[in-house]
Structure 1
Amino acid sequence: MKIALFSEYDNLITIDCIREVIDYCQNKKHDFALIESMGPYFENKNSPVQLFSAEKLLSKEFDVLFSFGGDGTLLRSIAVVRDSEIPILGINTGHLGFLTSLKKEELLNGLDLFFAEKFKLIRRSLLALETENKIDSLAQLPFALNEITLSRKNTTSMLSIQTTVNEEPLTTYWADGLIIATPTGSTGYSLSSGGPILTPGTASWVLNPIAPHNINMRPLIISDKAQLKINVSSRAKEFLVSLDSRLYSVSQDNTLYIKKAPFMVNTVELEGHFFFKTLREKLFWGQDTRNTQ
């Protein structure tokens, strides 16, 4: 098996965790390659480490990518995986780690489970964004696994967000912004803004206004087959669009088109790690002192 080792953080915990995985792979005779930015920490003249670039799509010769860090790192690893179907195993060396469910304290046991094929793949849908007037920096990676968010820039005034679904007018949101969340992203920013939780396989999106100036405006669930057209106006000339953790300035003269991406991303769910268990452990969902089960 050939494994890509991906990380964006050079803290001691992450480096030690990567070193432990490298030792494991060498002992088990698995091939691996390390992201270039981490290369200086693992230089070995007697046994050079193969490196790969974060600027290029991974070769399909890789069987899996291990992401070391938090959920943000896993989201950024999509840039090198994209539509290759290479699955991602998240190893949590960060904080909450909702997607990166393998804790560093359980690393060796988790690796044993993975290589014994005691896991299943969770297929996750992504959002794709196009703009009427092309934005070069955005066009390089116009996809989001968690959410696409529209928000204010350089103003405290509300945005007017005119939204059309499948060429039919939905509404004009008067709000600080709008979150369009996938099932994966429903446990992130959207949840913090009062949105519902969707299980990973749900074929839906959440449209969730941020601080709407209307007590009747609530989150809405729509089919992920829908196509959105959005026009934004405000007192500022620009507004912000974020795709997961990537932020762009967009002119209010531009039009946004959002639809389901033409590919899905596979994440690894190890035996004993499942969605509802993660909800209870990480988000304390349904926690009640009267509940003894």
Structure 2
Amino acid sequence: MFQVILFNVTNGLIIGAFYVLMALGLSLILNLSNVINFAHGNFLALGGYLAFTLSPALGYWGALLVSPFITALIGLAVERLMIRRVYNRDPVYSLLLTFGFAFVMQDAARYIWGPNGLPLGLPEFLSQPISPTLFFITWYRVFMVGVVIVAVLGLFAFLRYTQVGIRIRAGTLDLETVASLGVNISLLRTFNFALGCLLAGLSGVLAAGQIGLNPNMGDDLLMPSFIAIIVGGVGSLIGTLFGGLLIGVAAALTTVFYPSASEAVIYAIMMIVLLVRPRGLMGEEGMMA
């Protein structure tokens, strides 16, 4: 029983790590630009497919480094051509726009790479278990968690210690004041959207090595990522981090005792948080109330 619980907790942490990267990117875009990006899961799939396409030429490590940045550049183009047209409007406009664009990206992936699942080749040593006893924990899982930790720490360091990061944080609190101080809000929003897409692309490359590639792969991670934001608290990146890990581990532990409720428990957690603390675990007063 101990190994079963440990196995599911490990799975929960891995899934929670995907939720964290996805949710942090979503939260960055939502907090600064008030855009509900329903195409975020498709940027995740795009990152994975780009890694699949580039890996024969660059190898796995090169594809891991390059694919998220190409995803960010595509996100930058999407923001410049489409998303910026719905700024300062009701959020339902961005929701409908990105919802429709998600289907376009999904069909494009089917057309280019086909509707069937594809494997992303990994270096052989990453596929090996870390020990005979913990045979279900491979070095790739350890590697994924390590990459997520580095990415999250790098993001928080960037937001805290760089001029652009400080402007993004300030803009989430009062964008009009930031604009009045001479900051180019248009460029700031573009960069912020691209940064969110970069996190989605990185998550996609990591997910592809774990679960493989298919055009719908982002759909299963998108809604839990939104829930992670709600549970953690809209406006709080640290809350989003804890929210993603919480629902990932909770779903995994529920699988041990009541597998059919593993998905429902995520929504139950959200319901309880909204009833007890409407702004989320670490959200700011007034953001959700």
TM-score w.r.t. structure 2 length?
Answer: 0.23
Larger relative contact order (Cα-Cα within 8 Å, sequence gap ≥ 6)? 2
Structure that is richer in strand per residue: 1
Structure that is richer in helix per residue: 2
